[in-house]
Amino acid sequence: MEQKKKPLESRLKIPRAYIPWREDIFDGWDFYDMSHSTEFKLKGYDIVFPAQSYAWCLHDDRVALNLLNYNYYRKKFIKEYGDYYAFP
């Protein structure tokens, strides 16, 4: 069964290996986590999720959750990883 490629957007990550964040591309709030999970996939790691019957945490600082730069970083993500995910 083929596993679909999906980036992980997260608040809590516990990696078993060190792979640097792509700070050369993503220097803001949006898409840094999806970029990081993609870098793990590109290096051959699987991304797994533990079973949760309830949310372990809630993140809302009332500042970071705005979409002011969302499209800017979305376009950077597509430019960097579009071929991997076969984005049009």
What are the domain boundaries of the chain? 1-88
- Residue 24 has what pLDDT? 95
13 Cβ partners below 8 Å, 6+ apart? 33, 36, 37
Distance of CA 76 to the CA centre of its chain: 13
Say if residue 1's pLDDT is above 50: no
Whole-structure pTM value:
0.75
Determine what percent of the chain is predicted with pLDDT higher than 90: 30
DSSP one-letter code for 63: S
| pLDDT confidence band for 73 (50 / 70 / 90) | very high
Q: What is the pLDDT of residues 31-51, one digit of tens each?
A: 888 899 899 999 998 887 777
Task: Select from 61, 58, 55, 66 the least CA-distant residue to 28.
Answer: 66
Cα separation of 76 and 26, whole Å?
Answer: 8
